[in-house]
Amino acid sequence: MTIATDQFVNCEEVASGVNVVTINRPERRNALNLAVKQQLTTAIEKLSADAQVRVIVLTGAGGYFVAGTDIAEMAGMTPTSHTLLATDRVFNVMRQSGKVLIAAVEGYALGGGCELALTCDLIIAGETAKLGQPEICVGIMPGAGATQRLVRTIGKYQALRLLLTGEPVTAGVAFAMGMVSEVVADGGALTQAITLAKKIASMPPLAVRAIKEVVQQGHDVPLETALLLERKAFQLLFDTQDQKEGMQAFLEKRKPVFQGH
């Protein structure tokens, strides 16, 4: 069932609780201009507010994820226009979403496209896909999270290698760095992302949400604080019907039926 089709962004329910959002601007390799960003923001906001949605898969049409931000549109921008146009809003909306986000990457995920993938919780990539941050090559730097996410994901030395040279890496190298969740044959990223999304969507929703929240919030706090966050979330799940159903089903050797409460 198609939920919405805008000029550049399509949104489709492909399984119970699983929706695929496709950036559809293949003539520009799905480069992010303001219209794409606004339509993508609207789609993610709507899906994030829908209680029936469990997982969002983000992909691109035409064999590409997102080749970058639209340089032709960005070249004349000023600091004020970036502020007034909120050019980073889509990244903030994705970061704040309570849903699990999976990027299905083929072709290129460069610049803003790589940052879009990095904002997701999981990244599935075709083996010859290229990921990188080439902003330095046009006189600027990443501005939607790459300098911070890459350092936290792959460490200072690998992050600076990408950021200071602008050179992309293949999916295999990115996987070895810890930047990608899984590498599949070219053309298979979306299929595998949907398979993974279905698996996650079948899990108890409150436990999924608690895990995502604790990982996000615990990442940048002292270990003792993070462990406390984990322990409190763990204990709270024992007040859910899904915990009782899951453990009873295990003892009875049957498949659990999770209801999300």
Catalytic residues: 115, 135
Query: Among positive and negative, which fits the CA dihedral 157, 159, 160, 164?
Result: positive
Angle at 106 between CA 72 and CA 94, to 5 degrees: 70
Query: Concatenated DSSP letters for 197-258?
Result: HHHHHTS-HHHHHHHHHHHHHHTTS-HHHHHHHHHHHHHHGGGSHHHHHHHHHHHTTS----
Rounded-to-integer distance, Cα 57 and Cα 104, Å: 7
d(C-alpha 58, C-alpha 123), whole Å: 10
